[in-house]
Chain A
Amino acid sequence: MLKTPGWEMMIVWYFFLGGIAGGAYFTAAIADNFGGPRDGRVARIGYLLSLPLTGLCGLLLIADLGVPTRFLNMLGVFKFWNPMSIGAWGLGIFGLFSFISSVLSFSTSEQMIGLRRKASLVGSIFGFFLAAYTGVLLSNTALPFWGDSRLMGALFLASGASTGMAAISLLLFLSGAPAGEGWGKLKKADRYSMVFELLVLAIFLALLGSAARPITSGHFAPLFWGGLVGAGLVIPLVLELVGQRVKAIAAVTAVLVLAGGFVLRYVVVMSTQS
């Protein structure tokens, strides 16, 4: 006799876009700090992508509230053990870092670039947080499947990484970037993330066993197996293997990975509530 919170498409979009924002930011921070001079474009796109997405995330969260004008009430309390509470704080702090890194990504002064790199290292902690906490939020409810999932946060983080990287990759393609070093490294990082995501997903399902039925069988199963596992992870990995040098294939795989990330949030959020 449990009740579901009635979180629908706005929350699905929030989980999806929050994952991309966090993933794109920490990817940018890693490229910025540990990559070479030719990775600058990846870093800048990552920072600049995370900023509007974070703003959009905030708007989605506020719009989904029963009383949107009371959204600041979330910031009157800090419960460090409560994913919803630290999530509101974390999103705000992440937005601040995203803003700082975005502004500094236009600077050419050595001092400012150094500051940006240092700031983004701290900010990437909040990027990882933003991608993962939504999963931990769901896994600490009284509802079946959500509450049974010990790896929901880990899975959402891996998905945030793969979709964040795919989003940067797609923007590189759309901006007509030359097939330089940065893109190749980014695609490699995305492949690592996707392989890891598949692995986490397998353990996630194994640990859940029959509790995973809401997504592995029934109404949501075709979307889960076809949309996430097939089109969102396995096919992109195969495409990457056979067509690594073709730019258009990189764009197609990026779109597929993004769609898969959306499907993951959709089936997880909606299946338990239907």
Chain B
Amino acid sequence: MARTLAMFTDTSLCIGCRACQVACKQWNELGAEVPEWTGSYQNHSHFTDKTYRLVRFMEDPKPSGDLAWLLMSDVCKHCAEAGCLEACPTGAIYRTDFGTVNINQDVCNGCRYCVSACPFGVVSFNHETGTVRKCTFCNDRIHNGLGPACAKACPTDSIQFGFREELVRKAANRVEALKAMGFKDAQLYGADSKGFLGGLNAFFLLLAKPATYHLPDSPRLPQRNVVVDSLLSIGSALVVGLGALMAFRDRGKGDADA
């Protein structure tokens, strides 16, 4: 296995230009979509089957009464423990040798179980192809020595691409620098490989709490309860089976019953 690649999105550097969003659309040949009114500059309101990179515009009220304008270029997190990958019954969703999560469009049969298994609402169903789509981490580019289109296009280095352990180190230094500058809520999201979902291969530097960016505080693998739920179902089967057994074994009395 090759070294794990990652994308580090430093939201403190984002200027909301959406070059990443456009570069993603162009490289991946994603069709145009009808814009929607979201109440802010943001378009669309969420990832779609044709929007893999999405610049979010958040207005966060400050204690002074002003609004902080928080910008964040959001993307598939390529989780080390990926709910979508675990949920896929066809093997279409797989982990590449670089540690990223990709969907084989020739294998996916559109059952959409992965859509419900993504803790971030990334995976989206495409009604034209009948398959599910999401960020590929520019799989074709990274296998040819290029970085993802979004990182390449970013004019402020808000999106950085590289080997994961190097980027994590860089990100930790950046948090310290920001804190020294007075951004006391500066924090990394998903950088810790011992943290939630085994760490995110697309991780973030946030300037406020994750919830401000519509990110779950501590997302968990949706499949974590399979064993408990199955055992409870088996218990239910035993009770139901025993009840039926008692009813059908109960000879003699039953004649008068009907």
Contact = CB atoms under 8 A, between A and B. Distances in A.
A153 B233 contact: yes
Contact of A74 (B46, B89, B225, B236): B89
Contact of A193 (B127, B131, B230, B244): B244
B120 interface: yes
Highest count of chain A CB atoms <10 Å: which of B111, B113, B219: B111
Contacts of A68: 109
Contacts of A133: 233
B92 interface: yes
A248 B109 CA distance: 46
Interface in B103-133: 107-113, 115-127, 129-132
Contact of B241 (A26, A36, A184, A244): A26
Contacts of A81: 86, 223, 226
A52 interface: no
Nearest to A89: B89
B90 interface: yes
Interface string B72-98: 000000000001001111111000000
A35 B249 contact: yes
A52 to B, nearest CB: 22
B250 A136 contact: no
Interface residues of B, number: 68
B88 to A, nearest CB: 8
A216 interface: no
A1 B121 contact: yes
Interface string A207-227: 000000000000000000000
A78 to B, nearest CB: 9
B233 A135 contact: yes
A192 to B, nearest CB: 3
Contacts of B195: none
A154 B110 contact: no
A53 interface: no
Nearest to B232: A154
B255 A67 contact: no
B209 to A, nearest CB: 15
B258 to A, nearest CB: 3
A193 B243 contact: yes
B250 to A, nearest CB: 7
A229 interface: no
Contacts of B228: 150
13 contacts: A2-B120, A66-B126, A67-B109, A73-B91, A76-B90, A84-B87, A141-B222, A142-B118, A150-B229, A154-B232, A154-B236, A158-B240, A180-B258
A112 B73 CA distance: 67
Interface residues of A, number: 77
B94 to A, nearest CB: 10
Interface of B: 46-47, 83, 86-92, 107-113, 115-127, 129-132, 214-215, 219, 222-226, 228-230, 232-237, 239-241, 243-251, 254-258
Q: Which 9 A-B residue pairings sit nearest by Cβ, starting from the closest?
A: A66-B110, A66-B130, A184-B257, A184-B258, A192-B243, A153-B233, A154-B236, A70-B109, A189-B247
Given A35-B249, A132-B237, A67 B108 contact: yes
Nearest to B84: A142
Given A81-B223, A139-B229, A151-B232, A245 B258 contact: yes
B109 A153 contact: no
A3 B222 contact: no
Highest count of chain B CB atoms <10 Å: which of A3, A39, A85, A133: A3
Contacts of A241: none
A6 B125 CA distance: 9
A234 to B, nearest CB: 18
Contact of B109 (A34, A66, A154): A66
Contacts of A65: 109-111, 130
A2 B216 CA distance: 10
